[in-house]
Structure 1
Amino acid sequence: MNLTVKEQLQKEPNLWINKALTVLFIGAIVVWASNTIVFNGVKENGLDIAKNVISGILHPDKAMLFDFKQGVPYLLLETVCIALLGTIIGTILAIPLSFMASSNIVPKWVSTISLFIIAAIRTFPSFVYGLMFIRVTGPGPFAGVLTLALTSIGMVSKLYIEAIEDLDKKILESLDAAGCTTFQKIRYGILPQLFTNFISTAIYRFEINIKDASTLGLVGAGGIGAPLIFAMNSFNWDEVGAILCGLVLLVLIVEVLSTKVRNKLARG
């Protein structure tokens, strides 16, 4: 017998006590966390600096904005190259590590060790790796590439593992029954299932690396971050505006293009 909506609602368990306790718990956490935040007010010249930053963004240095030799376009190109190389290297290195960390592919002890390595890589932020590589290779774009490659491995590997563990094993069993070799099973059974997901993840990581490459320049690892901090320290707000305008434009272009590519991959 079909029940009415009212009867179905009446049969639903009354969980208002659990919901109320959950809200109270979250509220208590927020209050406790807010006690650690100390607000000392705005500096005397803070509003003036904010006005200067906004004015610099609205009136950027056009000479720097359109200087293709040493200006914003050159710095943005360097930033894109750092992000692209870091993404490619990190993505390639993440593939074997992801297979070694997938419990449905390798023995449990192998996957456990690999997962521990991935977790260790993901522990430190990109700034820490940037400072470490600068001590090894010296300041410059190469340190930025190594930093982004290493940080990409942690995130990309985690997403790759999820895709590998969701593999349809029935396809592999069918290929095995047909007498296919290991290479043929990888070529026709595994890669077609993982290709779209892997490429989409790599593109998404490239978007993140664009932003990370912009900030790594603050520690001397190449990119547009170093000129930005120098311009801010010298109060050249028109140069700051030019750099920020270029960064905003770059991020928007990358977001639009990557979204289109990912949508096309998802639709086949």
Structure 2
Amino acid sequence: MNHIDKQYELEPNRRLTQIMTALILIILFGWSLSAIQFDELTVNGLTIAKNILLGLVQPDVELLFNFTNGVPYLLIETVAIAFLGTIVGAILAIPLAFLSASNIVPKPVAIIIRLLLVFIRTIPAIVYGLMFIRVTGPGPFAGVLTMSLTSIGMLAKLYVDVIEDLDTSILESMESLGCTMIEKIRFGILPQLSALFLSIIIYRFDMNLRDAAVLGLVGAGGIGAPLIFAMNSYRWEEVGSILIGLVILILIVEYVSNKIRTKLVRG
């Protein structure tokens, strides 16, 4: 027991640090609460919230099951935007990832490419959406371009993390055999990375599906535009139908993507 007591006494006293940290967190929490204006919570706002809930309970059944131009069609369009944007972004992110991996290319080159990827990730998806709408006009094409560009930044970063954790002994063996950089990537790296890359791509598709729904609010295709139109027109039954369809879609994609990622990682 004496030995344990001595070890306990040798432990640094962090009580002051813990108290200071708690005080700082409390101050930051109180300061953050000051930004919330409860005066804006009017009776009209509560009525709208109640109507949205009623719309979920009593949705527009015809719109919910109309496969021509109803919720199913809008959901399919949203999935198509997210899927195509993810595929394009995943392909374009691969060379950028290898160029930003310090164990593959010289460090100065890796730093420059990483700065480019940081810049791409800095801009929110909705800002890209507004920019592309000015170029291509409103519609799904703007959504696909937005999903592609936003996917590049995140996917390349995750690719790099995987690439830099590789066992470089295989690359050294191939280099001793006189293999070129392309051959090392093709035969020494990609076979090891394919499963992890696919898992990352599926994860990004899951995120893009949510972003695609939001991008519709600014006219970049998908289910977001009909949702905001229905809300602005106070058609709460249509709002309920769209939200129900969106929730069901997200749950299905979440379940399937988790199953696939689990099999890829374990396999």
1:57-101 deviation line (CA, Å, top 9, x unaligned)? 011111011100000000000000000000000111111111111
| Partner residue, 1:25 | 24
| Partner residue, 2:14 | 15
| Partner residue, 2:118 | 119
Distance 2:5 2:188 in 1: 50
Which segment is superposed worse, 61-70 or 104-113? 104-113
Answering whether residue 65 of structure 2 is matched by residue 66 of structure 1, we say yes
SS at match of 2:244: helix
Distance 1:109 1:182 in 2: 17
Which segment is superposed worse, 211-220 or 35-44? 35-44
| Partner residue, 1:110 | 109
| Partner residue, 2:98 | 99
Percent identical: 58
Shift of 1:112: 1.6
Which segment is superposed worse, 128-137 or 104-113? 104-113
Shift of 1:159: 1.0
| Partner residue, 2:75 | 76
Shift of 1:115: 1.1
Distance 2:242 2:9 in 1: 60
| Partner residue, 1:173 | 172
1:93-118 deviation line (CA, Å, top 9, x unaligned)? 11111111111211122112111111
| Partner residue, 2:236 | 237
**Amino acid corresponding to residue 69 of structure 1 in structure 2:** T
**Runs of at least 5 residues in structure 1 that lack an aligned partner in the other structure:** none
SS at match of 1:40: helix
Distance 1:240 1:27 in 2: 39
Shift of 1:7: 5.9
Sort the Cα spacing of 1:8 and 1:178 in 2 relative to 1 into closer, same or farther, 3 A: farther
Answering whether residue 199 of structure 2 is matched by residue 200 of structure 1, we say yes
Sort the Cα spacing of 1:131 and 1:35 in 2 relative to 1 into closer, same or farther, 3 A: same
| Partner residue, 1:52 | 51
| Partner residue, 2:218 | 219
Distance 2:52 2:147 in 1: 29
Distance 1:127 1:69 in 2: 28
Sort the Cα spacing of 1:263 and 1:3 in 2 relative to 1 into closer, same or farther, 3 A: farther
Distance 1:44 1:15 in 2: 49
SS at match of 2:251: helix
Distance 1:150 1:192 in 2: 26
**Amino acid corresponding to residue 81 of structure 2 in structure 1:** I
Shift of 1:38: 2.7
Distance 2:75 2:262 in 1: 26
Distance 1:266 1:167 in 2: 15
Shift of 1:30: 2.2
**Amino acid corresponding to residue 68 of structure 1 in structure 2:** F
Distance 1:240 1:20 in 2: 48
Sort the Cα spacing of 1:192 and 1:16 in 2 relative to 1 into closer, same or farther, 3 A: farther
Sort the Cα spacing of 1:10 and 1:43 in 2 relative to 1 into closer, same or farther, 3 A: same
Distance 1:46 1:157 in 2: 42
Superposition CA RMSD, Å:
1.9
**Amino acid corresponding to residue 210 of structure 1 in structure 2:** L
Sort the Cα spacing of 1:124 and 1:179 in 2 relative to 1 into closer, same or farther, 3 A: closer
Relative to the length of structure 1, the TM-score reads: 0.93
Distance 1:34 1:47 in 2: 20
Relative to the length of structure 2, the TM-score reads: 0.93
Sort the Cα spacing of 1:228 and 1:167 in 2 relative to 1 into closer, same or farther, 3 A: same
